[in-house]
Amino acid sequence: MDYPKIIVMGVSGSGKSLIGERLSRHLDVPFFDADDFHSEANVKKMASGEPLSDADRAGWLADLADLLQREPALVLGCSALKRRYRQRLREAAPELLFLYMDGDFETILSRFANREGHYFSGEKMLRNQFEQLEPPGPDEAISIDIRLDEEGVLRQCLAALGQ
């Protein structure tokens, strides 16, 4: 089956950008990072350690929906933490496939130690993401076990896509 529009989703630090970029190269479609679509105010808020509210995310989700409608094919790295966010994005692109980078708090927190130059880091912000996360069920997303190494995670994604 062909999935021209894919969202690699999960909490911060789960590997959305890394795996999303690799997947996009393999599929020969553009990669977009949803973080690049946040307003300056949202970035400042997160950089100061303050979580975003649903109201903060409204414009961001609208911009992502526009992107999904505009691009014929893509891979988008996006947290998509709540079911209603995923529904909003799927309204823009009904054929959308979600790959959920599924990992536990300790695994992801340990990865923050190797992360440089990103405005989103720290245990408090990660805890908030896990609190906000409404894990997708099998009707919404394909769960990918991120405890494997990068190649293993990519292989799982490609297998899920029938590649």
At 114-160, the pLDDT tens digits run 655 554 556 777 888 899 999 999 999 999 999 999 999 999 999 99
Give the CATH number, domain containing residue 53: 3.40.50.300
Q: How many structural domains compose the chain?
A: 1
Q: Could you count the other beta carbons within 10 Å of the beta carbon of residue 66?
A: 12
Predicted pLDDT of residue 115: 55
Q: Could you count the other beta carbons within 10 Å of the beta carbon of residue 4?
A: 15
Report the C-alpha gap between 60 and 63 in whole angstroms: 5
Q: How large is the average pLDDT for residues 45-62?
A: 88
Find the length of the chain: 163
Q: How large is the average pLDDT for residues 82-93?
A: 96
3-state secondary structure of 78: coil
Range of the domain at 77: 5-160
Report the C-alpha gap between 145 and 133 in whole angstroms: 16
Q: Is the pLDDT reported for residue 49 higher than 80? A: no
At 109-120, the pLDDT tens digits run 887 766 555 545
Beta-carbon contacts of 158 under 8 Å, excluding residues fewer than 6 positions away, are 23, 26
Specify the residue for token string 């292989």: 155
Predicted pLDDT of residue 6: 97
User: Confidence class of residue 47 from pLDDT cuts 50, 70 and 90?
Assistant: confident
At 7-43, the pLDDT tens digits run 999 998 899 999 999 999 999 999 999 999 999 999 8
Backbone dihedral region for residue 89 (phi beyond 0: left; psi -120 to 50: alpha; all else: beta)? alpha
